[in-house]
Amino acid sequence: MAYATGRLVHDADSHLMELPDCLDPFFDKRLLKRFHDLPYYQKKLGQAGWADKARQRQSDAEFRAGDADNILLRKNYEALGAFTPADRPKALDLLGFASQLVFTTFCLSNFGLDQGDDLELAYAAAEAHNRMMVDFCAVDRRFLATAYIPLEDCARAIETARRAIAMGAKGLMIPSRHPQHHSPSHIGFDPLWAMAQEAGLPILFHVGGEEKLHAPYFENGLPRVKDFHGGEENFTSVSFMAIPGSVQQTLAALIFDGVLDRFPRLKFGAIELGASWLPSWMRFMDSGAAAFIRNEERLQKLSAKPSEIVRRQVRVTPYPHEDTGWIIANSGPECCLFSSDFPHVEGGRNPLKRFDDSLAGAPPASVAAFYADNFVDLMGEGLAEDLRRPAMEAAA
């Protein structure tokens, strides 16, 4: 029996667990060596043998015999369908979700290239990522591929988005961190927003694309603490606090500068960036608009209060450890989405239970919106009509 049997659930966050050579078949051959020479890539290669071990594990018949029983227990490279396309439909069948929005793991920060001087390589890496994602997700229509669009150069960003849409990407991911030399709300991006709106596809933010906590915060005179995975590369309790800062600022700029009003059918999704910040951020924007509206013509032209624009066009995924019921009650039933983060450790072993516990007592319509309706709204034409509300298997 599937994990989500008897209910309609769309998953707004799942991942590939790519191996180090994942981009090679899709990369511009002229630039591949330059990519391989990146310190980030060299560090991955230097972790000797892990990719071979992952492949061996997934080809071991005895290990694979436990796929069904361990669908939410095996994480990262041990998970079913972590990096093998042919295995991923079975994983989704066992999870019981109607669809999954699929993100990278290996390429989430675009290897730091957006903040450098080699824009040719930055856009080449993004293009290779986009081709890889669409190729992987082609195994099953329920998998919705995300494409990455660097915003460092307006013209290149528009062309990258055009190609991503043409090849079948279902969502356009942009960094929540601002580009080096202009705002993400720059009018030069209007053709990009127009293209996404016309195609009915969302603009997405995902953890990994934000400005990281400044290094001095770690120098506290005490021993370094371990991160979520027991190492030192991912988030700790202090660096966790910086996760939503960039997306709050970027979305505020997009709202105040009128982008969401100029493209009122365009939806934005903030994925794996938490949501406890959402209610206070909405009200803080309302407060800011009220304070400056007398002197700022752009604020006078807004179609509604910023919080109302958020409810109309912005969707976010709470973490399973957050009080989702409180977030929905204080932001609105339209804003929140379910996500499993499969197969990452952070998604936990029973996300439905944790969300259900938090949503106990919430209106049934709000619960249905959280698990399915808000996702259907976010994805628009990216989610085929017949996948939006498929017949659900009855609960045993």
The per-residue pLDDT for range 257-270, each reduced to its tens digit, is 999 999 999 999 99
Query: Residue 46: pLDDT band by 50, 70, 90 thresholds?
Result: low
- Confidence check: pLDDT of 108 > 50: yes
- Lowest mean pLDDT of 28-42, 197-211, 348-362, name the range: 28-42
Q: How far is it, in rounded angstroms, from Cα 270 to Cα 251?
A: 9
Mean of pLDDT values over 305-317: 98
Sign (positive or negative) of CA dihedral 173, 176, 182, 187: positive
**346-360 confidence digits (pLDDT tens):** 999 999 999 999 999
Q: What token pair was written down for 162? A: 């055009």
Average pLDDT, integer, range 85-100: 98
DSSP sequence for 320-331:
TTS-HHHHHHHH
On the 0-12 / 13-18 / 19+ scale of CB atoms within 10 A, 274 is buried
Mean predicted lDDT score pLDDT of the chain: 94
Q: What are phi and psi of 258, to 5 degrees?
A: 85, 10
| CA distance linking residue 123 with residue 312, whole number of Å | 31
**What is the rounded CA–CA span in Å between residue 214 and residue 242?**
9
Q: Which residues pair with 15 in a beta bridge?
A: 103
Checking if the pLDDT of 396 tops 50, the result is no
Query: Which CATH number is associated with domain 10-383?
Result: 3.20.20.140
Residue 13's closest CA among 315, 312, 276?
Answer: 315
For residue 101, the cross-strand partners are 144
* Tokens, residue 246: 């960039």
- Domains in the chain: boundaries: 10-383
Q: Which tens digit of pLDDT belongs to each residue from 203-238?
A: 999 999 988 888 898 888 988 887 665 555 567 888
| H or E segment and range at residue 94 | helix 88-95
Instruction: Enter the pTM of the model.
Output: 0.95
146 in Cβ contact with 169 (< 8 Å): yes
Structure tokens at 272: 């794996």
- What residue spans of 237-313 are helical by DSSP H? 237-240, 245-256, 259-262, 278-292, 297-300, 306-313
Distance CA 299, CA 255 (A): 9
Return the higher-pLDDT residue of 165 and 238.
165
Q: What span, in angstroms and rounded, lies between the C-alpha atoms of 137 and 147?
A: 11
At 218 the pLDDT is 85
Q: Which residues pair with 102 in a beta bridge?
A: 14, 145
Peptide bond into 343 cis (omega under 30): yes
Q: In sequence order, which residues have a C-beta less than 8 Å from that of residue 183 and are 6 or more positions away? A: 253, 257
Q: Which two structure tokens, joined as six digits, stand for 266?
A: 């365009």
CA separation for the pair 395, 379 (Å, rounded):
27
Terminal-residue alpha carbon distance, the chain: 8
